[in-house]
Structure 1
Amino acid sequence: MFEESCDDTPKCPFEVYKEEADKMNKMGEYMKAIEKYNIALEMRPEDEKCSVARGYCYLHIGDIEKCLIDAIQAFENNSTNTAAICLRAEALYRKGCFEDSLIYFYRGKKIRPDHKAFKIGIQQCEEAIENAVGKNANVKLLNSGDLTQYYENQKRKKVKKEKTVMRQSSARTTNEEKYTIDRKDGKTMKQMLGQLYEDMLFLDELSCTSKNNKNIKKMADNCLEYLDSRSLFWQEQEPMYSRRKKTIDPRSGEKKEISQEDCSKYVLKTMEEIDEFQVNGDHTKSLRLCKKLLNEIKQWNDSVVLNRHEIISNIHSFIGNSHFELGDYENALKSHQVDYEISKQNQIKETKSRAMDNLGRVYEKMKKYSEAVDISKIMNIVAVLRDLTSYIDKPKKCRWEQKIPLIESDIEAAWLYHEISRCYMQMGKINDCIDYAEKSIDASINAKDDVWKISATIILAQAHSHKKNYEKSLNTFNKAKEFAISLDDQNSLENIESAIINVKRKMDSENSYTSKPVSHTSESLKSFVEE
């Protein structure tokens, strides 16, 4: 988006590059985000947020060393920065340094006891350490002093030095020899990688057969190196013997069935994580976790998953919200439609109301005002899935009108009628706009909410202006002005006075005005009403 000059001098301020990098980060374009963060950090090397954000990008692409460098730099600048502590702990965990990672997770929890990432990190580190070394329940400490642990540590150091020497000598071999040595035990690699084992074989073959094409060979070798590093990490995190003992019955080879209680706890915990990702603006992670949870729920039996339909409905709502925030309105629309249909089929009142709100919000963002009001298109989608003929003869209804029976309070009615009125205004259906604006005013009066009363009154005045009923429009604007004065709302008052002047000008020139009718309110008032 931004081009750099030949002398690599940044043309834009720091904030521009950081904002562009944050946008790329949210979209999952981590390499492009890193490029922008690099430029931003050249301008402000001490910026902690920028270092942490770039560190997470490195973490996503698997470059743990560079991620750790950014985390250490941010931590040294501010040792109480919880984001830097969390990043450093995560990087150490991915590197296989579970004990060091656990230290930083505990340090972060001490600063922010309410942060769930630290609690989850502590649990993962403890599980990884337990899988690697086992429980110490059989260890007995004596008063006489046992130096066994000291001698064991000395042995480990000696073995580590020998391994380092061997590693340095083997590093001189070519890439082809290195991959052959690393993958001699195909059975272990297959158990470790699972479905990725087939991809590893393909990349290995591609690396050997693409000697003439250096670019392809380099890409294949980089992928193989990444798989090797991940295999080592997975082996340290959860050794093969631990996996077999924990998840598989050796005689049957079948996985153990999850209990109903464990399922409920897992689903609740995962949905809390998804919600936290969305609150923090990390919608890419939120989508990934939503899809993972959705696939797992589909594989479990109905006896294990309580309220299956409600959970799936909530997950699709989460997915739709994340797509909406990322600007992918088409996929957001699909997810909210699924949420609506599940809620409707299973008569879940709360989720159905939520899905209607979200659908209207997406259609409005896409500037498809007719779809926001017209339910026929959504009904046709449902008809393809179920029974087409049962919906064809039904009259068109407003989606938000369908929500009217679900209204539980006057304030909700005031808001809902206001939104319906505004959509009809955008569609040019002025009579319907006037009807719902008047209903919104009545509901706001009952709710004693002056803010919605002003908004609905302004829409009503606009509607009369569209119909060239300038006297009614002027009277209605004057009422809105009185409401604004009583609330001492100077911003609304200025916009209303501007609109009144505009209407008076139209009244004076009505006889000579013959062109096509346009909106008779100021742009500032339009933006005020839309807000």
Structure 2
Amino acid sequence: MVEAAAEVPPGTFPSFVAEGTLLVRRGEHDKALPCFTNALLLRPGDRQCLVARSKCYLKLGDTENSLKDAEASLQNDKTFSKGLYQKAETLYTMGDFEFALVFYHRGYRLRPELQKFRLGIQKCQEAIVNSRPFLLIKAQQKLQIKLTKDQKRASKQERVRKPQTERQLLGELYADKAFLEKLLKDEDLMKSSTKQGIKVKDLVSGGITYLNTRTEFWQQQKPIYARVRERKLRQQRWIRDKKRKPDEVARYIAKSMEDIDMLLAGGSPEESLKKAEHVLKTIQGWSDEEVPNKNELVGNLHNCMGNAQMEMGHMDAALQSHQTDLELARQNNLPDAISRALDNIGRVYARIGKFQQAIDT
């Protein structure tokens, strides 16, 4: 949590949030983390920002702070769906599947239309079932029960895995496995026994077996190749589904325009321009039936592009974008858009020193 005595950094809350959001999209969660922390210094307890920082902590493997922020986002509103989902995700990552299931269920009862809660419930139920063998193995180790023949056979099998994948799946436990495998090569130590008469080799082999089983479990839960394939299938379905639902289109447009404005306000005109160009290309590929106000929206996007280009100092490009906005506004008889475009064209002329043209506009 943020200390009250911390010095408030220079900047604004929206600018820190915009910068952090941009860094998250780039996968730079370590750099995004201080951005959200600075934003919380300016607006302590902002639940959206707490969830964003919690996600960063989780990506960086700091589940303790991730859970603290997720819980803090729920402090004043226990029905905050994003906070419930983030807490459930953190608990799931920590291996507390039963508790995670509780919060996935709470979120689903409040927002049954959100598929992520339903998927969370499903993966938690599967994890609880699949994790039972691990609990049995742990209990056997604590009770000092000898390994069964199947466990011995499994411990002797050579497992071919890429170290990078195994390290990613095991996390901090990867170092423990490497240590146990190193001990297994010490023949003198493996021949010895504990005071209770248990062979050290059996204990070490049991530990390796448990970690191998855990690796297989996590690989089943989140296999990398499956995520890539699933993403491709989603993209293919999206392309095939030419007739999109009106609420899906509306949500996409509203979210995209909000992102474009936030990036520009946050001092990232280049990213704002890229986002606007991408949305424009997407919208132009949709039918008028799917986007009833398509011409108005296209003009608005040219307006956003012009504003970003002007911030970047690309005056010729900005002038062209605003003139396109003006043409579309006149073609569709949109008085407010005409006024907006003329005002922006005048500002561009003023910036490049063509004051008479600015006055005429």
> Match of 1:481?
none
TM-score normalised to structure 2 length: 0.54
Q: For 2:304 and 2:283, locate their aligned partners in 1 and report how far apart those are by CA, in whole Å.
A: 13
> Match of 2:102?
103
2:309/2:317 contact within 8 Å kept: yes
Q: Which moved more, 1:87-96 or 1:334-343?
A: 334-343
Q: For 1:422 and 1:414, locate their aligned partners in 2 and report how far apart those are by CA, in whole Å.
A: 12
- Does residue 235 (structure 1) correspond to residue 220 (structure 2)? The answer is yes
- Does residue 185 (structure 1) correspond to residue 159 (structure 2)? The answer is yes
Corresponding residue to 1:125 among 109, 116, 120: 120
Structure 2 unaligned spans of 5+: 145-154, 179-212, 289-293
Q: For 2:333 and 2:100, locate their aligned partners in 1 and report how far apart those are by CA, in whole Å.
A: 50
> Match of 1:357?
303
> Match of 2:334?
409
Q: For 2:98 and 2:46, locate their aligned partners in 1 and report how far apart those are by CA, in whole Å.
A: 25
Distance 1:256 1:345, change over 3 A: closer
> Match of 2:347?
422
Q: 2:306 aligns to what SS in structure 1?
A: helix
Q: For 2:46 and 2:332, locate their aligned partners in 1 and report how far apart those are by CA, in whole Å.
A: 47
Runs of 4+, deviation exceeding 6 Å: 14-21, 36-44, 228-231, 265-273, 341-349
CA displacement, residues 82-106 of structure 1 (integer Å, 9 cap, x when unaligned): 4432321121233454553332133
> Match of 1:84?
83
> Match of 2:291?
none
Name the amino acid aligned to 2:99.
D
Q: For 2:305 and 2:72, locate their aligned partners in 1 and report how far apart those are by CA, in whole Å.
A: 44
Q: For 1:34 and 1:231, locate their aligned partners in 2 and report how far apart those are by CA, in whole Å.
A: 31
CA displacement, residues 311-370 of structure 1 (integer Å, 9 cap, x when unaligned): xxxxxxxxx667545533234435545666787899986264344222212123334444
> Match of 2:111?
113
Distance 1:126 1:435, change over 3 A: same
Q: 2:273 aligns to what SS in structure 1?
A: helix
Distance 1:347 1:432, change over 3 A: farther
Larger RCO of the pair (alpha carbons < 8 Å, separation 6+): 2
Residue 61 (structure 1) shift = 1.8
2:107/2:117 contact within 8 Å kept: no
Distance 1:347 1:80, change over 3 A: closer
TM-score normalised to structure 1 length: 0.40
> Match of 1:433?
358
Distance 1:32 1:231, change over 3 A: farther
Q: For 1:156 and 1:193, locate their aligned partners in 2 and report how far apart those are by CA, in whole Å.
A: 21
2:29/2:59 contact within 8 Å kept: yes
Distance 1:355 1:165, change over 3 A: farther
2:349/2:357 contact within 8 Å kept: yes
Matches for 1:318-333 after TM superposition, within 5 Å: 324=264, 327-333=267-273
Matches for 1:156-167 after TM superposition, within 5 Å: 158-162=136-140
2:347/2:358 contact within 8 Å kept: yes
Q: For 1:41 and 1:235, locate their aligned partners in 2 and report how far apart those are by CA, in whole Å.
A: 37
Q: For 1:193 and 1:270, locate their aligned partners in 2 and report how far apart those are by CA, in whole Å.
A: 36
Name the amino acid aligned to 1:365.
E
Structure 1 unaligned spans of 5+: 1-7, 135-152, 167-180, 208-227, 248-254, 284-319, 376-396, 437-531
Q: For 1:346 and 1:357, locate their aligned partners in 2 and report how far apart those are by CA, in whole Å.
A: 20
CA displacement, residues 65-119 of structure 1 (integer Å, 9 cap, x when unaligned): 4312443455467644544323211212334545533321332344x538x6xx2
2:51/2:82 contact within 8 Å kept: yes
Name the amino acid aligned to 2:306.
G
> Match of 2:55?
56
| Cα RMSD for the two superposed structures | 5.8
Distance 1:23 1:35, change over 3 A: same
Q: 1:62 aligns to what SS in structure 2?
A: coil
Distance 1:131 1:263, change over 3 A: farther
Name the amino acid aligned to 1:161.
A
Q: For 1:328 and 1:133, locate their aligned partners in 2 and report how far apart those are by CA, in whole Å.
A: 44
Distance 1:162 1:57, change over 3 A: same
CA displacement, residues 46-79 of structure 1 (integer Å, 9 cap, x when unaligned): 9474754542220232323431244345546764
> Match of 1:252?
none
Residue 412 (structure 1) shift = 3.0
> Match of 1:501?
none
